[in-house]
Structure 1
Amino acid sequence: MTTFDDRERAEEARFAHDAEVLFRIQARRNKLLGQWAAARMGLDAAETESYARAVVQAEFEESGDEDVIRKVLGDLLMAGLDVAEADVREALAAKAIEARRQLLGEL
């Protein structure tokens, strides 16, 4: 094997690792956002856990964050809460920071 092959494999491994870490951060962020929204809706512990999982699953409906934002915003509005899209986006950004800190602290 050549040095070039070794370097190429190392780059591929690093790329795969970075993609996995990003996926885990986004999943944790979405779970934290679901917990945030559940607390605002007054859900109990079991409902909160179920709702947080549903928010994580919403990520897979389409690429990007819009599906998660639409779900959480829609659910909060259906619960009769006065919340703006900007509030959900702000919470999403804050939860992204929190998720990154939590996950990188575990690695």
Structure 2
Amino acid sequence: MRFKLAMLGLALLAGCASMNEKRANGPAFSASTPKSVEQVSECVLFAWQNQSLAGAHYGAAIQPLAGGGRTVISAGEIEFADFNAAAGATKVSLYFQSGLMEWRKNRRIEAVKGCL
């Protein structure tokens, strides 16, 4: 029984990649908008904070992105979005933890699209 629990724990940890590892694998969704980094990142922050997922609201925060820009990140780093200024526009890149249910990904993508 202990062996099974240990294997389950290892399997769960294997799905938890760092933010930089997720970035290296490429975004699950990307887009650009003529809005400023500040406008679109704050819109996504508020959209994620107000979004109900399976009847629950999950926290989200905004932080500066190394090299400029911003990142909106959900509690537990389940998903995060990077916002970078690029040639008069804002590039948006959205990343998800592996094994996340498609309905949750789709809801987060819808929220981002609503801010573009």
Q: TM-score, normalised by structure 2?
A: 0.34
Q: Looking at secondary structure, tell me which structure has more helix per residue.
A: 1
Structure number with higher strand proportion: 2
So what's the TM-score if we normalise by structure 1? 0.36
